[in-house]
Amino acid sequence: MRNSILLVALLTLPLAGCMQDPASRGLAGAAAGAILADATDNDAVTGAVIGGLAGVATCGVNLGLPPCYNQ
């Protein structure tokens, strides 16, 4: 179980670097949150909401990712 969570995190991290607008980062965060919540036997909808909010919030934070551009 722990290996699958780590694998999902490693696979989604490079994808987050390609997302350069808040909507696409939110969508990627929501997908990752739902997958992680389902893998840990939690509510996938709650995981998607939390992941989506976290994805949108990373646009203003310098995490080594490209900056977000509002369209």
Give the model confidence (pLDDT) of 20-46 as tens digits: 778 888 888 888 898 888 888 899 899
Q: Please check whether residue 32 lies inside any domain of the structure.
A: yes
Residues 43-57 pLDDT 10s:
989 999 999 998 888
Q: Please check whether residue 10 lies inside any domain of the structure.
A: yes
Q: Please check whether residue 22 lies inside any domain of the structure.
A: yes
Q: Please check whether residue 69 lies inside any domain of the structure.
A: no
Domain that residue 23 falls in: 2-59
Q: In whole angstroms, what is the distance from residue 25 CA to residue 3 CA?
A: 24
Domain count, the chain: 1
Q: Please check whether residue 52 lies inside any domain of the structure.
A: yes
Q: Please check whether residue 71 lies inside any domain of the structure.
A: no
How much is the pTM?
0.65
